[in-house]
Amino acid sequence: VPNGGSHSHASGQSVYSLRDVTRQMNSRQLAERLIARNRSESDAASSVSSVAALAAEDLFVALSRWVGADGCHALFTRAQTDELVAHPSLSSLQLRPRTQPHLDGVSATAIKYGEAETALAIQAAMVATIELLGRLIGAEMAANLIERTLPGPSYDGEHENNRARAQ
């Protein structure tokens, strides 16, 4: 496929190019690194869903610096909608524009659907968000923006405020 997208096979199934698969792997790896970073800095009592939510908050803050709060909210909302079929638990999470934390209802969702499913759903929404941004500005540029703007090993105050709210 010339533009790196997918096309429909005669059977009606979507056929993905190598570029699509690579972009999805890179987005997934980036989301996993964000979650792992939060897991390594969280206390042992933190649930897997709250750690995933912290990573999503970090992603939101990082992307907001480049596409604005409204643009970032639009990306997250579209990603949430795109992943609803695979992860119905996303319907229980609320995205609150211009608030901290942006992602609300994590604890209630974890009670209803389970910790593991809630964490997987949040990760899937993160991957979809990164992929959407990658389609807009290029996957490599999206990854660079996210990695460059995320707090390093010593987190800034905004990250600490997110962490305090999640616990």
Other C-beta atoms closer than 10 Å to the C-beta of 120 total 19
Asked if the peptide bond before residue 153 counts as cis, ω within 30 degrees of 0, the response is no
Ranges of the chain with pLDDT below 70: 1-25, 45, 149-167
pLDDT given at position 65: 86
pLDDT given at position 76: 95
DSSP 63-130: HHHHHHHHHHHHHHHHHHHHHTTT-GGGGG-EE-TTSSSSEE-HHHHHHHH-HHHHHHHHHHHHHHHH
Reading the block at residue 93, the tokens are 């999470």
Q: Report the distance separating Cα 5 and Cα 72, nearest Å.
A: 23
